[in-house]
Structure 1
Amino acid sequence: MKHKIPLLKDHHSHPFMFSILNSCPNISLARTKEEAIAIINFAETNIILGWNSDWYHFTTSELRVMPPVIICNRSFHSFLVSSSFKEIFSEAEFVQHFNDANWVEKNLSKIMHFFASIQTFQPQQIEDYFAFLLRQGVYYAEEMLLAFAEEIDLFIKLGFLERTQFWTSIEIFNTLSKQEYIHGIKIFADGSLGSKTAAMNYLDVQRGKLVHSDIALEILIEQVASLNKALAIHAIGRQAITQVINLISKNQHIPEIRIEHCQFISRRDAFRAKELGIILSMQPNFSFDSIRYKDRLSEQTCQDNNSFRMLIDEVGFIP
């Protein structure tokens, strides 16, 4: 017997980013640096995706002879920039700060805005991407990092407002004339596993860092509360998750609060989040991080990743 299920909703996505970057060269399957360089040298775009920094690194000499490109870590939280790109875009804020991990985590909306400005883009790419999603059974995909006002106009023109929901940084929000279209504000509390900037311990003793101090993050949360908008906070590592829950417990005047990813939440913090009414916006596909990043995580940490059974069976979250 066949059963029909409703079309799915993806509550954490980046449809505009995926649309504009879909045609960019991807070196994620290049297992050697030589293979990757061959792809990069024939690139017809400024943006290269899929670099796995644990497989190989590019030397200064190699970056010096590459075409004008940005090489994006597969996590999209760290980057390399070729010398020729730096020369062409020397005044760009991204070029001046891409080596500063803390700046990157605080300015991903700006980074996406910059990427969009250097990529050739057509509205058809958005339509093609949503058509692709529909073929996968996904009707709705939230835009978690709106980068500029024109994106709202584009979705209105295409008739896709019912197929998304806009989130943006508080800095971008304050520049928008159509703020009524923004569902909520997104804040980053830490980075990613791929760039080792998620706030947690790693096997090589490196420790990811919090993006904000407690005081700075508390101020941001208070600003969101004053807007009466929803709040989504990116927090992957246990230290960041604990920081977020501690501060949310002090400010419960926000209509909807989500922790994005929340991969390494402790049992204690899970109960606290449930009591506070926090939504854990988690993605099953990141369970594979326990395999992908076992080179940097302890066996116990890998087991703690995306503890859905604990959250459902013990804490009482309902998927």
Structure 2
Amino acid sequence: EGIPESHVMLWPGSGGPLVSTVAAFCSPTKGLVTADPTFESAWRTADYLKAPIAKAPQAPGAGHDVKAMLAANPNAGLYYICTPNNPTGTVTPLADIEWLLANKPKDSVLLVDEAYIHFSEAPSAAKLVAGRKDLVVMRTFSKLFGMAGVRLGLTFADPELQKRIMLFGPTAGGLSITAMACGNAVYPEAALIKARREEMIANREETIAWLTKKGIDVQTGSQANMFMMDWKKPAKEMQAAMLATPEKVQIGRNWPIWPTVSRVTVGSAEDMAKFRAAVEKVYTA
């Protein structure tokens, strides 16, 4: 990414730095702003800190509405952008991230969570870190690399910001030698990244086309290993029904803002064939 070594910090996964960044920059007087729906970990941490939480609704198939995020709390401590977003898989354009950086309060921080960036060919916000003391970009090896249990993550940020985040959680001192070895082995594998991305896209698009043909509404725009499908009935009931099929398919959760919509993770071709078989058994228009 062309980022100086001084601006790169290793972590045991990216869940820790996400929580630590919220803890470092939010308080009862400095709130958190996110999209809705998005990854909930930041909400839980802010709630624990008694920091105000503002959520800007995200349109189906779109990236974060950064202008709505700023309007939701023009004096927040932290603005959180997950891109590609969990659960929608949609990307927030780099131009929108740059707009938020230019218009947010000077004393606030922007956290860009790129946990799923390797599934997409969208440009990274990492190049924006240089010369800034108000931007943290986060990565993990747990997604496309398939190393969730190994626990290896990164933050890109100015060293002064890194020091503030480090006060709240274990950084490189918490890494195992196994994580270090695996990270060194896998990160140069550009061809493997491309092959895994293409395999996932083929499986995702095949399944989305099948669901659409069946008359099930699938939100467009995902650039990650997930998509959102609208059952038009309570998603929690459909999640239980899918698990009860002979295929025993466990699909993702739903978010309160969209109670009839489920997050579906894209697995192997065999996984998705089982998913389609389970849907065939439980879904009636």
Structure 2 length-normalised TM = 0.33
- The structure with higher relative contact order (CA 8 Å, sep 6+) is 2
Question: With structure 1 as the length reference, what TM-score do the two structures score?
Answer: 0.30
